[in-house]
Structure 1
Amino acid sequence: MVNVGQCFVITPARPTPTAPMCLSELDQEKTVAPALTVYFYRPSSDSISFAAASQVHRDSLSQVLVHFYPLAGRLHFIAATSSAKIEDFRDFALPNELRSLVPVVSYDASDLHELPLLMVQLTELSCGGISLGIGVSNIMVDGTCASHFMDEWARMARGDPIGNQPFLDRSVLLTADPTLPPRFKHERFVPNPLLIGQSDDHEEHNKETKIVMLHLSKEQVQKLKDIANKTRPAYIPRPFSQFEAVAGHMWRCATMARGHHPMQPTKLFIPVSIRGRMPLPKWYFGNAIMKQAACSHSGELVKQPLPYACGKMREAVEIVTEDYVKSALDDTKRQPDLTPFRTSHTIGSTTGCFDGNPNMEIISWLGIPFEGLDFGWGKCVYVGPATINVDG
C-alpha cells in the first residue's frame, strides 16, 4: 500500500529558454505513454533521513533541469510512503506492485499539451529503503538519453558539476522541404500480417494479456549464443550477439506455441540505434531509435535452426545506413496521421497496427547503463521497468 504524501512541482533553478522546440520525425512516431522505470536503494549506512533524501532529489532535479530544460515543460514530482519492504517485491516481477511506485497519469483523458514530460516519485519503504520511480515521455527521449539524464541528475545530487552537456537541437534530424519520396522500402507503416483466415486483428487485439517474468541465467544466454554461432552461415561473418540469439529464440518459440500455419507470415520488430549510422552529436538528446522488422514465414522459422531467425534480424539491421535513415524520415513525414502508430502496441489500444500474434516486438536494455545509479547514499540494488504495457 502506497500513501502519497506531498506533491511538488519542480522548476529549473535558473531561467531557461521558453520558445517551443521542434520534434524530429523519430520523436513524432513514438508512443505517447511514458516509459516507467523504478530504482531501489537499500537503507543508507549514513542514516540519511527520507526527508533529507527527498530534499536532495528536489534540489538536484531543479539544478539538472537547467541543462535538460525540455523535460521541464510539464513536470510532476511526488513523495510517498509505503508499508512494503524491498524484499516484498519478489525479484521485482510483480507489475501491479511496481506500478504503484511510479506517478499515475491518465494518458487517455488528457490533451497532449497537458501531459507531463517527466514524473518522479520518491517512496520511503518500511525497511528504510527508498524507491525512485520515473516516468519520462517516450516522445522526448530514448533509453540512451534517459540514462544520460539520470546519470547527470545523480552527479548533481552528489555535489558534482554536470559531466556531459546534452545536445538539444533536434532539427538535425528534420527532413528537408519539400519532402522527398522514400528511396527504400520501409516496413514500419505497412499493415502487419494477419492470422491466416482472419480479415482483421480485432479478435487477437481484444484477448487478455498476461505479464510473465522469465529469468535467463548467464549460462543459458551463453548457450543460446553458442548455438546461434555454431552453425552461423558463412555469409554472416560477424558473430550473433546476445540480443540476436535470445530474441531469435523467443521468436521461434512463440511461433511454435501459437501453432501457426506453415505459410503464416510473421514479423519481429526490433529497435535499431541510428547513433553511429548518422552524423549525430554524441550527446544528442532525443529519439535516435528506429523500429525495424525482420520478416519470415512461420514454417521456415520453426523448421530452420536458430541461426536462420538470427540472420533475418541481422538483415533488417544491416540495411540501416545513413541513406536508409534519411529515406525513413521522409517516409515518416509523408504519413498523413501518426496517431495510430503511437498507440498501436499498447495494451487496451484499439487503433493502429497490432504487434501481437502473429507478430512480436522485442526491445533490449542490455546496452543502456542504467545500473549503479548513486545519488549520494549508495548504488541502486535494482533497476527495471515498472510495468510492461506492450502486447506482443
Structure 2
Amino acid sequence: MVVKIKGCYVLKPSTPTLQGSLALSESDQIDTISHVSIINFYRPDQNFVSQPDAIVNTLKDSLCRALVPFHPLAGRLRWIGGGHLELDCNGMGVQFIEAESDSKLDDLEYDYLIPTVDYTLPIHELPILLTISHAVVDGQSTFHFISEWARLAKGEPIGVMPFLDRKAFQARTLPAGNTLGLDHSEKKKTTVAMLKLTKQQIEKLKRMANEGNDYKNSGTKPAYTRYKTVAGHIWRCASKARVHRNEQPTAMGVCVDLRSRMQPPLPQGYFGNATFYGVARSLAGDLVSKPLGYASSRITEAIEKVSNYYVLSAIDHFRNQPNLTRFQALHALGIAEGDLYGNPNLEVVTWSTPPMYGLDFGWEKEMYMGSGTYDFDGESFLLPSPEGDGSMVLTLCLQVAHMDAFKKHFYEDIILHKLYSKL
C-alpha cells in the first residue's frame, strides 16, 4: 500500500490564547503518558469532492478555531524533575498531515496512516496533538475535543466549553498505598484482532455470569452488566490462551471514569485525564476453573473500590512520591515498570460513555471509527456497535503465539457452555 504525503503543517490557534504553565494532575502523569490514536473514515459528499482542497481547508480552518478554547493542545509538555510533567501553554501549535492513497478501504493497513511519534526527541519538542498525548487528556476529553472541532467545521458554535483548571483533583486524604505495582514482561511480537460479539452472544454470557447470582430475589445484588460480563470472559480466555499455571497470579486493569464518582462531581467539560484504574486480581487456576460469575465478581469489586476516598488517597500518595517514573509507561521506549500490560496481565477499556460515533464534520457521520494501531500486549478496547443493535466489538492486542488460542476460547466457550450445563 502506498500513502503519499502531500503536506505537513503546524497549525496554531486562530487568535491569541493564554500563555504560561498549566499544572497537570497526578491522574495525568501516571500510567500511559505516550500518544494514542483514533481513526475515522468518512465518505465525503460531492460538494466537497468537486472543490479542490475543500476538505483539507475546512479541517485546517476549524482546527485553528478549535485550538482557541482548547489551547492546551497547542502547547508542549516538559519535564520538571522527578518524573513530573507540566504543560507549557505556549501556542506552538499542532501537527496536521495531508496525505492521499489510491488503495481501497478494505486494503488499507492502518500502520501506514498513523503518524510515527519520535520519542527519542525531547518531550518538549513533541506536539501534543499529532495523534494525541495521553498525558494531557483521556478518552472522554479526546472525544469532547473532536466533537467540538466537528461542530466548528460545520459552522456551528461550541456546544460545551472545556473546563481547563485541573485543581479539581486536589487530594485531601492520607496515602492509600501503591495501586499499581504489577510486573512488566519482556516485549514479544504482538498482533491485533477485532472480534465481534452479537447481542445474542452477549446475552448468553450475561446468563452464564449470573448463574447462581441471587440478584432477582435479593433486591440488593444487581446483575452483572454486559461490560463486567464480557470483560470477565476476555480475562478468562486470555489466561487460557496464555496457558497459565494454576498458581499464576493475574490482574486485569479496569479503567473507571471519575467524572461523576468524585464528590463533588467534576465540572462539566472537565478537560484532562479523569480516569483511574481499579485492579482485579486472581489466581489463574481460580479464574479458569470457576464459573464466569467469579471473574465478573472480581471485576465488580475492583470497580467498587474506586471510591472518592480511594481516588483522593491514591492521588495524595502519588503526589508525595519523589519520582513518578516507575508509575509511568512510555511504551515506545520500552519503559513500562509497574504497568498493567503484558502477560500475565491485561486491561479492558470500554468506550461506551464518550460521543464517539456520529462525529460529523460536514459530510455526515463516519463509515468507521476505532482505535489506531498499538502493540501493547494485553491492551484491549471494547466498543458498542455503531448501529445500536446490542452487539460489541473487541479490539485486542496479544502476543502472536497466543492469539489463535484466544480466538478459539473466545467463541467456543460460549457455545460449549450449553453442552456442559446439560451434563
**Fold match by TM threshold 0.5:** yes
1:208 equivalent to 2:155? Answer no
Query: Residue type matched to 2:124 in 1?
Result: H
The answer to whether structure 1 residue 137 and structure 2 residue 133 are counterparts is yes
Quick check: 2:73–2:129 contact (8 Å CA) kept in 1? Answer: yes
The answer to whether residue 309 in structure 2 is matched with residue 323 in structure 1 is yes
Using the alignment, how far apart are the partners of 1:389 and 1:304 within structure 2? 30
Q: 2:327 aligns with which of 316, 325, 341?
A: 341
Query: Is 1:383 aligned with 2:377?
Result: no
- Name the CA shift for 1:50/1:147 in 2 (closer, same or farther; >3 Å): farther
In the aligned structure 2, how far is the partner of 1:244 from the partner of 1:342?
26
Q: Does 1:240 align with 2:198?
A: no
Change beyond 3 A, Cα 1:50–1:181: farther
Question: 1:347 offset after TM fit, Å?
Answer: 6.7
Q: Which has the higher strand share?
A: 2
Alignment-derived partner of residue 66 in structure 2 = 64
4+ long deviations beyond 4 Å: 233-236
1:105 aligned to 2:133? no
- Deviation string for 1:325-372 (max 9, x for gaps)? 11010121123322243226x377154135322221221213322111
In the alignment, the residues of structure 1 paired with residue 300 and residue 245 of structure 2 have an alpha-carbon distance, to the nearest angstrom, of 25
Unaligned runs of 5+ in 2: 76-92, 379-423
2:258 aligned with 1:274, yes or no?
yes
The one of 206, 211, 216 equivalent to 1:230 is 211
TM-score w.r.t. length of structure 2: 0.79
> Residue 366 of structure 2: SS of its match in structure 1?
coil
SS of alignment partner, residue 290 of structure 1:
strand
Q: Report the counterpart of residue 245 of structure 2 in structure 1.
A: 261
CA distance in 2, matches of 1:347, 1:216: 31
3-state secondary structure, aligned to 1:21: strand
* Residue-by-residue CA offset, 1:178-217 (whole Å, 9 max, x unaligned): xx641x35432x244xxxxxxxx6xx41322222222222
Q: Secondary structure of the residue that 2:95 maps to in structure 1?
A: strand
Q: Is the 8 A contact 1:267 1:360 kept in 2?
A: yes
Match of residue 171 from structure 1 = 167
RMSD value, Cα: 2.0
Q: Which moved more, 1:30-39 or 1:56-65?
A: 30-39
- Distance of 1:83 and 1:356 partners within structure 2: 37
SS in 2 for 1:363: strand
| Residue 81 in structure 1 maps to residue 100 in structure 2 | yes
Q: Which residue of 1 aligns with 2:25?
A: 24
In structure 2, what residue type is equivalent to 1:59? Answer: D
Partner amino acid, structure 1, of 2:222:
R
Whole-angstrom CA distance in 1 between matches of 2:353 and 2:111:
24
2: CA distance, partners of 1:383 / 1:339: 33
Q: Count the aligned residue pairs.
A: 353
Q: Identify which range, 150-159 or 219-228, moves more after superposition.
A: 219-228
Report the counterpart of residue 152 of structure 2 in structure 1: 156
Which residue does the alignment assign to 2:179?
187
Q: CA deviation at 1:43?
A: 3.6
- 1:353 maps to 338
Give the structure 1 partner of residue 88 of structure 2: none
1 CA distance for matches of 2:279 and 2:332?
20
